[in-house]
Amino acid sequence: MAIIKYLFVAAYVVFILVVGLRSRRDSAGGGDAYLLGGRSIGPVITSFSFAATYISGVCMVNAGKIGWDWGIGAMWNAWGNVLLSIVFMWFCLGARSRSMSEKLNVQTLPDFLRARYQSEFFKLVGSIVMFIFMIPYTAAVFSSLSYMFTRVFGLPYLGAVIAMAILAAVYLVVGGYKAAAKIDVIQGGIMVIGGIILAVATVSAKEVGGLAAGMQRLRELGPFTNTAGVEATGAEIASFGMGGNWGLLMGIIPFVLMTSWAPSGLPQMATKFFAIRDAKQVRIGAIVCTILGFIIITGVHVPGLFIHLFYDTLPEGGTNVLVPDLLTRIFGSGLGGQLCLSLILLLVLSASMSTLAGLVLTSSAALGMDILKGYCMKDLDEKKTTTMLRVCTLFFVLAALVLALLNLGVISSIQSLAWGAISGFFLAPYVYGTMSRRVTKAGAIAGSLIGLGCAVLIPTLVKSAVPSIARWCTTVNACAIATVLPLILTPIISAFTKKQDKAYVDRLFSD
């Protein structure tokens, strides 16, 4: 029966390569064509691309940890993702991001903020931040995907990582954003079907016995200690309020802020709006993406919700192996089970490859457009610009591959630190830059530095310097602080600093 899994994956790989090669001509028109598909992507395709990029293989791996530590907190995380990221970004930021990016003639978020606030700080420092932190972020996605294939297929980790890197390099270097967007439509469809199958199969498993019975069994679990050392009971992790257990609440709230609020400041998500055909079509994409996100994200978190019903103790390998091992237990070795398992594997592969596409293209844009062309090679024509961007894309894939091969065991920590640093830098100036005329250049710069500083310094210098609070200085807590504190301080600082030219700002906000 194992041949079924290989056939599904082989068909997927062939499809990816064909679309990438067929999109070569569409990506050859310089920065706009390679990075944004010529700003001609429809709202439905953009919504599929957004959802597929947002949901990565790390999400499924982390679902096991969330469920093990916080039970129904898995649903907190799933629905927080939908409300705080997808709904907020599409309905509040999407249309303005599209119209402003065209008025400012920019392709990247650092350049967008440079033009919005008339400050080279954002273009230079923002590009450097992305260059440093996007590589470990991409490596985390490589690791989670390859780890899943290692557990299910029995492939060596080295071979799985290299295979994924080669596949990503070929279709992204050749096809650019338009290839990635086309592929994301199919990948999004796979993820919807896979998410539904995963949720239904988990709830139908004999260990769960249906939704109502599963929740009752969860409530009846005895006391346990989660990976953070917090003592809890089944009744507490089956309650939306965590039974008033402050130890659990102080763990899940920062985690949800990290995974749900921080993505609003991630460049690979913001630039999706730059590529949509027309700002007026954003509302269509918003509705489609919300539905897609709810189905997929809820589906991949259901196994986490009931993970304690399948395992009495953590298996060897810790929380990272919970969901991969659970898949083989749920679906078994029969023909139907193998078909379903193959679809779930394609879900993970699709989620990870689409996220990789967003990360790699965004990273290559920061290096190529903002740093190299922005400061070193300003006179490149369109053909040479495309070639330069393809070289940058290949560089980022190779750099992430090397890092993924060096360390397997810190998937969540790597992603937490990268998310905190990148989102901490960009979130406040991006959100306020598209929603408010009153934020000043000084306020935006201060917000960026505060966010970046919190994300990097709290889990490193502060943790070492103040041992009494070291247990709270995690990358997750740092990320949560890095995305919330700048939102509070940026408008306060703006109230006391020099305003931008009113006519310039009014033009950006005009319809």
- Please measure the distance between the N-terminal and C-terminal CA atoms of the chain and give it in whole angstroms: 58
Mean pLDDT check: name the lowest of 83-92, 152-161, 389-398: 152-161
Region 269-276: mean pLDDT is 88
Q: Which residue has the higher pLDDT, 38 or 464?
A: 464
Q: Provide the angle, in degrees to the nearest 10, between the axes of the packed helices 2-22 and 335-365.
A: 30
Q: What is the pLDDT of residues 408-439, one digit of tens each?
A: 555 556 677 888 899 999 999 999 999 999 99
Whether the CB-CB separation of 414 and 139 falls below 8 Å is answered with: yes
pLDDT over 60 at 28, yes or no: no
Give me the residue spans of the domains in the chain: 2-509
At residue 334 the predicted structure's pLDDT band, cuts being 50, 70 and 90, is: low
Q: Is the pLDDT of residue 29 over 60?
A: no
Please say if the pLDDT value at position 375 is more than 80: no
User: What is the reported pLDDT for 432?
Assistant: 97
Higher pLDDT among residues 393 and 410, named by residue: 393
CA-CA-CA-CA torsion for 387, 393, 398, 404, nearest 10 degrees? 180
User: Rg of the Cα trace of the chain?
Assistant: 22
- pLDDT of 508 strictly over 80: yes
Q: What is the pLDDT of residues 287-299, one digit of tens each?
A: 999 999 999 899 9
CA–chain centroid gap for 156, Å, is 26
Residue 271 backbone zone (phi > 0: left; psi -120 to 50: alpha; other: beta): alpha
Residue 490: per-residue pLDDT? 98
Range list of H helices, 368-501: 382-406, 411-435, 441-457, 463-465, 475-494
Q: Is the pLDDT of residue 481 over 80?
A: yes
Task: Please state the rounded mean pLDDT for residues 140-156.
Answer: 71
Q: Average pLDDT of 298-320?
A: 85
pLDDT of residue 1: 53
Q: Which fold has domain 2-509?
A: Sodium/glucose cotransporter (1.20.1730)
Amino acid at 256: V
Please give the residue that has the higher pLDDT: either 40 or 360.
Answer: 360
Name which of 93-97, 317-321, 457-461 the model is least confident about. 317-321
Mean predicted confidence (pLDDT) in 259-273: 89
- Look up residue 402 and give its two tokens: 């090397």
pLDDT of residue 37: 61
pLDDT at 396 over 90: no
The winner for highest mean pLDDT among 198-212, 309-323, 350-364 is 198-212
Considering only CA atoms, which of 324, 386, 396, 384 is closest in space to residue 357? 396
* pLDDT tens figures, 46-63: 888 888 778 765 676 678
pLDDT for residue 50:
86
In the chain, % of residues over pLDDT 70: 87
Q: Give the mean model confidence (pLDDT) for residues 262-285.
A: 88
Asked if 304 contacts 323 with a C-beta cutoff of 8 angstroms, the reply is yes
**What average pLDDT does the structure give for the chain?**
83
pLDDT at residue 349, as a whole number: 74
Half-sphere exposure of 126 (CA within 13 A, CB side): 34
**With 70 as the cut, is the pLDDT of residue 160 above it?**
yes
